[in-house]
């Protein structure tokens, strides 16, 4: 069986999994499983991608399994917040049927045949990874260390599957479905159970490298980068940090030495990964390790450690072979990866080109990569790259400087939004001083709900949606989904900085929703953060003292070609 370039939307992956005896149930296999099956068949037809592989074993639980469990749980279509919460808890608390328990026992026996690897339990809903909407990161992924007795392992696997099922009822996917006019009845959940790609290093299991490939570049730091050149965003360890708003390295595949964050040591250090994720095989849990603690271990364990890491101190970057006399900290800056691991970059370019030509649309591929024993790129997921509307060139008007609230000279979107009536702003100092990050995030969410349909401007310090509240307000998608322009403000004194995390679930949502983006680097030339204007104008305070809501008449002019953008007040001062 082979795939053709015009049939992805009509491709039926269920047949692929049934031929391979790897689907349970008679329902659909969902979007994520469909993308993986399509990529597997497409790549099997190619003779030029010998360096590409797939997880050792993938099993799919079809949507029939979810539907039956929802029925056993007594779940009906929820009508209010309390009903959604009850449905979520009922899915988690209702035991599986004896028949499904027996099937999961057999699933574990199948994985025993390939060495009992840790397992990733991933969502694959009907609407996920479609050519129209990605639903990226909206549903759960759970991990099982797959250790202990068979009964213990099955109990953990069951909890993981129920956790994925229950994520159907979480606020983020509900808000996403509502914003895009999707009836809840159209959605159902299949589940992928997959061997985690990677290797065991004593009691730690992880891949050397993991990340996401994109066949198109929609936000360019430099005109030399062409949209069709493609990029890779990667990290050391499990790939969770490349899809969340955590620090990870971005390489433009035709100019891999160019860094979007800038080339100064301080800029590189501020954007570099300092922690990595792994599965703790001794304690049986997903864990995060700090590079400061693990550096010596990783240096002994990985011959390419010098291509991954450097030491930063006194505003200077040192190689892992140096012995600096100043205090330093290790960072994953990947200084020589594109030189020492050419196979990764060559394979990535060939894979993206082939998959885009075969599928007939730009693609987004999650992967892991091992340098030993062989240089192998393992495809974990393939989906259509989230839709991105290239708007007509925007001309920046000549505006008196006193009316410019924000200005940026790099990495802006391309678009225009005029006569905006509201702006929500999170004051960086108050956010840090009145330390209640979740309270600030919920207050932004309340404002977002009130301003539904108004396409307001949202501005705040550092990285919106970061898992680390020290880097930015930890909002969820449903708490910012109604904004029209998102502004990230650099405040060096408070260690806040925008993070140009292209390819994260966060940016995929922005592209699909048409939300404009303006990163403001406060002290850099060509940037403006008019704090005096914000402090002197009338506003009302949200449910957190740092959250301010302004009424007025604002406009945003963003020229993505010239990398220039402004947000202005249309009222004269």
**Tens-digit pLDDT profile for residues 23-59:** 999 999 999 999 999 999 999 878 778 899 999 999 9
Does the pLDDT of residue 218 top 90, yes or no? Answer: no
Domain limits of the chain? Answer: 13-196, 204-340, 401-569
| Helix%, strand%, coil% for the chain, nearest 5 | 30, 25, 40
pLDDT band at 184 (very low <50, low <70, confident <90, very high): confident
Distance CA 70, CA 77 (A): 10
Rg over CA atoms, the chain: 24
Distance CA 207, CA 304 (A): 13
Tokens of 315: 């505003």
Percent of the chain with pLDDT over 70: 93
Q: How many CA atoms lie within 13 A of 52 on its CB side?
A: 28
Contact call for residues 354 and 2 (beta carbons, < 8 A) = no
Collapsing DSSP to helix, strand or coil, 99 comes out as helix
Indicate the helix (H) or strand (E) that contains 86.
helix 81-93
User: Can you state the angle between helices 342-359 and 30-44, rounded to 10 degrees?
Assistant: 110
Which has more pLDDT, 260 or 320? 320
Q: Which CATH number fits domain 13-196: 3.30.1490.20, 1.20.1730.10, 3.40.630.30, 3.40.50.300?
A: 3.30.1490.20
Of 203-212, 339-348, 407-416, 542-551, least confident by mean pLDDT is: 407-416
pLDDT band at 133 (very low <50, low <70, confident <90, very high): low
pLDDT band at 1 (very low <50, low <70, confident <90, very high): very low
Angle at 316 between CA 310 and CA 320, to 5 degrees: 25
Task: Supply the pLDDT for residue 5.
Answer: 46
What lies within 8 Å, CB to CB, of 342 at 6+ separation is none
Contact call for residues 189 and 168 (beta carbons, < 8 A) = yes
Kindly tell me the sign of the dihedral angle through the C-alpha atoms of 534, 539, 540, 542: negative
Of 226-235, 287-296, 302-311, least confident by mean pLDDT is: 226-235
Task: Supply the pLDDT for residue 468.
Answer: 84
What lies within 8 Å, CB to CB, of 469 at 6+ separation is 437, 438
pLDDT band at 505 (very low <50, low <70, confident <90, very high): low
**Tens-digit pLDDT profile for residues 51-106:** 999 999 999 999 999 999 999 999 877 878 888 899 999 999 999 999 999 999 99
């Amino acid at each position: 069986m082979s795939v053709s370039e015009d049939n992805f939307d009509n491709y039926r992956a269920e047949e692929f999994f049934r031929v391979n005896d790897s689907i349970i149930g008679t329902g659909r296999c969902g979007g994520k499983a469909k993308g993986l099956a399509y990529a597997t068949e497409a790549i099997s037809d190619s003779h030029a991608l010998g360096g590409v592989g797939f997880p050792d074993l993938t099993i799919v639980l079809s949507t029939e399994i979810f539907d039956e469990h929802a029925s056993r749980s007594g779940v009906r279509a929820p009508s209010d917040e309390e009903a959604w919460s009850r449905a979520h808890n009922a899915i988690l608390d209702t035991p599986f049927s004896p028949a499904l328990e027996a099937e999961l026992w057999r699933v574990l026996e199948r994985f025993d045949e390939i060495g009992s690897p840790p397992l990733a339990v991933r969502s694959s809903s009907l609407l996920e990874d479609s050519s129209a909407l990605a639903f990226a990161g909206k549903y759960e992924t759970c991990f099982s260390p797959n250790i202990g007795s068979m009964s213990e392992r099955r109990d953990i696997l069951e909890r993981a599957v129920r956790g994925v099922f229950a994520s159907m009822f979480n606020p983020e996917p509900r808000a996403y479905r509502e914003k895009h006019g999707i009836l809840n009845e159209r959605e159902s959940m299949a589940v992928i159970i997959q061997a985690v790609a990677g290797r065991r290093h004593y009691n730690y299991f992880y891949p050397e490298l993991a990340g996401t490939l994109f066949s198109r570049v929609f936000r360019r730091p430099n005109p030399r980068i062409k949209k069709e050149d493609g990029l890779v965003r990667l990290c050391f360890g499990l790939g969770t940090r490349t899809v969340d708003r955590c620090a990870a390295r971005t390489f433009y595949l035709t100019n891999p030495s160019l860094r979007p964050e800038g080339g100064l040591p301080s800029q590189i250090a501020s954007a570099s990964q300092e922690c990595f994720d792994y599965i703790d095989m001794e304690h049986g849990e997903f864990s995060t390790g700090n590079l400061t603690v693990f550096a010596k271990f990783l240096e002994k364990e990985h011959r390419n450690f010098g291509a991954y890491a450097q030491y930063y101190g006194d505003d200077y970057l040192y190689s892992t072979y140096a012995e600096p006399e100043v205090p330093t900290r290790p960072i994953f800056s990947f200084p020589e990866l594109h030189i020492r691991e050419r196979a990764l970059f060559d394979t990535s370019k060939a894979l993206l080109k082939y998959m885009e030509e075969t599928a007939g649309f730009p693609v987004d591929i999650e992967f892991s990569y091992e340098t030993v024993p062989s240089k192998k790129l393992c495809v974990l997921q393939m989906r259509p790259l989230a839709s991105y509307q290239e708007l007509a060139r925007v001309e920046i008007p000549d505006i008196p400087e006193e009316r410019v609230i924000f200005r940026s000279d790099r990495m802006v979107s391309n678009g225009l939004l005029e006569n905006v009536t509201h702006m929500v702003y999170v004051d960086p100092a108050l956010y840090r001083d009145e330390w209640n990050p979740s309270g600030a995030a919920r207050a932004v969410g309340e404002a977002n709900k009130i301003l539904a349909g108004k396409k307001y401007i949202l501005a705040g310090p550092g990285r919106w949606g970061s898992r680390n509240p020290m880097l930015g307000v930890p909002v969820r998608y449903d708490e910012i989904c109604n904004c029209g322009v998102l502004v990230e403000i650099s405040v060096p004194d408070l260690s806040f900085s925008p993070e140009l995390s292209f390819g994260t679930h966060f940016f995929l949502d922005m592209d699909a929703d048409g939300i404009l983006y303006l990163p403001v680097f406060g002290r850099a030339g060509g940037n403006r953060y008019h704090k005096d204007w914000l402090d002197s104008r009338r506003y009302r305070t949200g449910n957190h003292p740092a959250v301010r809501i302004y009424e007025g008449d604002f406009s945003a002019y963003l020229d993505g070609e010239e990398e220039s953008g402004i947000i202005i007040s249309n009222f004269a001062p």
